[in-house]
């Protein structure tokens, strides 16, 4: 008898599992049960469809050559039966049957299986505040949500909107609606947006969003949605502030859809995701689970938690299919939480652990911030800001964050592979990466960050983050602050915190202008602090013992400054 594989869920992980299973055994009977009318939705593309980056919604459902992945496609091209608008009601584990209902006809039926793959996804979290059911409040989790927002954009029917949540989807939706001419306010209950970043880099992104005429409010959650005649008219914040709006997009996160699994008696983890082993097998040997509905292991910390990423969902679907068809022999190793998003003409990416999270996980973490151009200046270079985190004891790379208009994706990808390979800073300082002027500097930005980290860990550079520097200023810590840039740069923009201008080229002739008590703390900076490090080595060679470099320079200063 041919093997029967049933997959519940038809977004990303489910279709991948079904397609891989069929490729492994062309005689297998593979069936997808999908509650939605759509299949294989490119859900990460929803904000870009809303924002008008492309016009045809079918592109979210199509193959690269433009064929819509509907039930006919799955049957003809892959030999897979896809039953859309069909709900899986329950699982009879003893008899290996899924009880289903056709949502169009109402007819209930049974779908027998030899192996079952759960890919039930996740649902958006709706804050339990008054008025959350008013007309004009939506999420961006489904094709229907995307259609709703795209119609608003095309009809120009909304002038003011709020985005509740400053994470990946919230920020991408902010951009999409702002580009349509809608006045946007993004509201985040935490002290920063994009919590996969440390505060200092997140603040740079927040400033960038504001530059594009979108307001950002942090540390001030929504306490009520306001309305008249059932329609949204505004939101009230914890501070008491009321903001008028006709549209609110809730993007505060998702919750794994594990109810079906729980009802069937499968083990569900403490964070609500289905528990799986390294083979993506549930507590039932005949049932596997993949995608946003499961909890997976963090490869750096060992922590088990949901990891709702579209790329991981596809990888998990492939692994589960192989194990379901061939027996458990392929391990899914877990995640290092690699992600990236577009923020107007910036990108923000992260892989591994931020400094904040590394410390919270018990690592003796050391970080450094660097800034520079992503290729030679004569090749149309753009600014790139990196924050690298390593374990002080072993030198192992723990994480990298990157923001800016430069090529963020490349450096995050480089660092992700380094983390998965357990590479150390010592390994990275001589990494053999591709170089040509159209693509990168001769010393790639990642390698440059490793050089700075090596200097910092060896004590060759005493770094000072912008946050630490600002704290010293607020405490009125005695220090001599020197701007090493040129007079022209100084006139164009400056910090305005009591710094003295001594250009690097003039420093050797102006040692008499420095504090003669050579234990006085001296803080140096320039645009990226490359010149500042050069100056620091010179001053230390001439006896000053407490010289610090403001890491990343003016390019990473997130606070107000003189112009």
Tens digit of pLDDT for each residue in 525-546? 999 999 999 999 999 999 999 9
**pTM for the model:** 0.95
Question: In the numeric block, which tokens belong to residue 387?
Answer: 């924050």
Q: For residues 349-365, give the mean pLDDT.
A: 97
Residue 337: which of 301, 367, 366, 294 has the closest Cα?
301
Q: Assign domain 339-457 to its CATH superfamily.
A: FAD/NAD(P)-binding domain (3.50.50.60)
The H or E element that residue 352 is part of is strand 346-352
Please check the confidence at residue 294 and state whether its pLDDT lies above 90: yes
CATH code for the structural domain at 463-556: 3.40.250.10
* Contact (Cβ atoms closer than 8 angstroms) between residue 49 and residue 61: no
Residue 387: which of 417, 363, 357 has the closest Cα?
357
Which residues carry out catalysis?
Answer: 44
Q: For residues 441-456, give the mean pLDDT.
A: 98
* Contact (Cβ atoms closer than 8 angstroms) between residue 306 and residue 122: yes
Strands (E), 214-281: 215-218, 222-228, 231-237, 242-244, 247-250, 254-256, 274-275
The H or E element that residue 417 is part of is helix 408-420
Q: What is the pLDDT of residue 561?
A: 84
Q: What is the pLDDT of residue 204?
A: 97
Question: How large a percentage of the chain has pLDDT more than 90?
Answer: 98
Please check the confidence at residue 389 and state whether its pLDDT lies above 80: yes
Domain range list for the chain: 4-42+53-123+255-326, 137-252, 339-457, 463-556
Q: Assign domain 4-42+53-123+255-326 to its CATH superfamily.
A: FAD/NAD(P)-binding domain (3.50.50.60)
Q: Assign domain 137-252 to its CATH superfamily.
A: FAD/NAD(P)-binding domain (3.50.50.60)
Q: What value does the CA radius of gyration of the chain take, rounded to a whole number of Å?
A: 27
377 three-class SS: helix
**Pairwise CA distance, residues 303 & 310, whole Å:** 20
**Pairwise CA distance, residues 259 & 420, whole Å:** 33
Q: What is the mean pLDDT of the chain?
A: 96
**Pairwise CA distance, residues 499 & 444, whole Å:** 31
Q: For residues 448-465, give the mean pLDDT.
A: 97
**Pairwise CA distance, residues 137 & 248, whole Å:** 5
**pLDDT confidence band for 562 (50 / 70 / 90):** confident
Residues facing residue 524 across a β-bridge: 482, 549
Q: For residues 277-305, give the mean pLDDT.
A: 97
Q: What is the pLDDT of residue 563?
A: 64
- CATH fold match for the domains 137-252 and 339-457: yes
Q: What is the pLDDT of residue 522?
A: 98
pLDDT tens, residue by residue, 27-67: 999 999 999 999 999 999 999 999 999 999 999 999 999 99
pLDDT tens, residue by residue, 486-495: 999 999 999 9
Please check the confidence at residue 213 and state whether its pLDDT lies above 90: no
Q: For residues 410-439, give the mean pLDDT.
A: 97
Please check the confidence at residue 553 and state whether its pLDDT lies above 70: yes
Residue 252 burial (CB count, 10 A)? 21
């Amino acid at each position: 008898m041919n093997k029967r594989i049933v997959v519940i869920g038809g977004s990303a992980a489910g279709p991948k599992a079904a397609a891989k299973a069929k490729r492994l055994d062309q005689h297998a009977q593979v069936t997808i049960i999908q509650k939605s009318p759509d299949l294989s939705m490119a859900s990460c593309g929803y904000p870009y469809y809303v924002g008008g980056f492309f016009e045809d919604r079918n592109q979210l459902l199509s193959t690269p050559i433009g064929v819509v992945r509907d039930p006919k496609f799955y049957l003809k091209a892959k030999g897979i039966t896809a039953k859309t608008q069909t709900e899986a009601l329950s699982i009879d584990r003893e008899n290996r049957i899924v009880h289903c209902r056709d949502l169009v006809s109402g007819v209930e039926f049974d779908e027998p299986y030899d192996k079952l793959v759960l890919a039930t996804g996740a649902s958006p979290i709706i804050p339990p505040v008054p008025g959350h059911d008013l007309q004009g409040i939506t999420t961006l989790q489904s094709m229907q949500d995307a259609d709703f927002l795209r119609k608003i954009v095309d009809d120009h029917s909304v002038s003011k909107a709020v985005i509740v949540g400053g994470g990946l989807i919230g920020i991408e939706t902010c951009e999409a609606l702002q580009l349509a001419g809608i006045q946007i306010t993004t509201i985040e209950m935490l002290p920063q947006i994009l919590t996969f970043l440390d505060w200092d880099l997140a603040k740079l992104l927040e400033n960038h969003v504001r530059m594009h005429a979108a307001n950002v409010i942090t540390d001030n959650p929504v306490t009520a949605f306001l309305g008249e005649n059932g329609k949204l008219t505004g939101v009230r914040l914890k501070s008491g502030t009321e903001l008028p709006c006709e549209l609110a997009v809730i993007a505060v996160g998702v919750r794994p859809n594990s109810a079906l699994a729980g009802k069937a008696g499968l083990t569900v983890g403490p964070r609500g995701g289905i528990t799986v082993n390294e083979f993506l097998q549930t507590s039932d040997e005949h049932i596997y689970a993949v995608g946003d509905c499961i909890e997976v292991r963090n490869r750096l910390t060992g922590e088990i938690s949901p990891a709702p990423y579209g790329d991981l969902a596809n990888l998990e679907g492939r692994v589960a299919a192989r194990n379901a068809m061939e027996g458990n022999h392929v391990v899914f190793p877990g995640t290092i939480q690699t992600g990236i998003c577009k923020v107007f003409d910036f990108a923000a990416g992260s892989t591994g652990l931020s400094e904040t999270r590394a410390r919270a996980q018990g690592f003796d973490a050391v970080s450094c911030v660097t800034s520079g151009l992503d290729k030679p200046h004569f090749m149309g270079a753009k600014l790139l800001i990196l924050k690298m985190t390593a374990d002080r004891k072993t030198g192992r790379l723990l994480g990298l964050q990157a923001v800016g208009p430069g090529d963020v994706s490349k450096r995050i990808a480089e660092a992700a592979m380094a983390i998965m390979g357990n590479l150390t800073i010592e390994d990275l300082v001589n990494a053999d990466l591709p170089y040509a002027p159209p693509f990168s500097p001769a010393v790639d930005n990642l390698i440059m960050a490793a050089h700075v980290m090596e200097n910092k860990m060896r004590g060759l550079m005493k770094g000072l983050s912008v946050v630490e520097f600002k704290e010293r200023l607020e405490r009125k810590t005695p220090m001599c602050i020197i701007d090493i840039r040129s007079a022209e740069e100084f006139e164009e923009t400056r910090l305005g915190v009591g710094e003295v201008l001594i250009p690097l080229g003039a420093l050797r002739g102006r040692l008499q202008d420095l504090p003669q008590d050579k234990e006085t703390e001296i803080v140096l900076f320039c645009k990226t602090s490359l010149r500042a490090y050069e100056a620091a080595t010179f001053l230390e060679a001439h006896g000053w013992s407490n010289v610090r470099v403001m890491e990343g320079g003016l390019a990473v200063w997130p606070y107000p400054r003189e112009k």
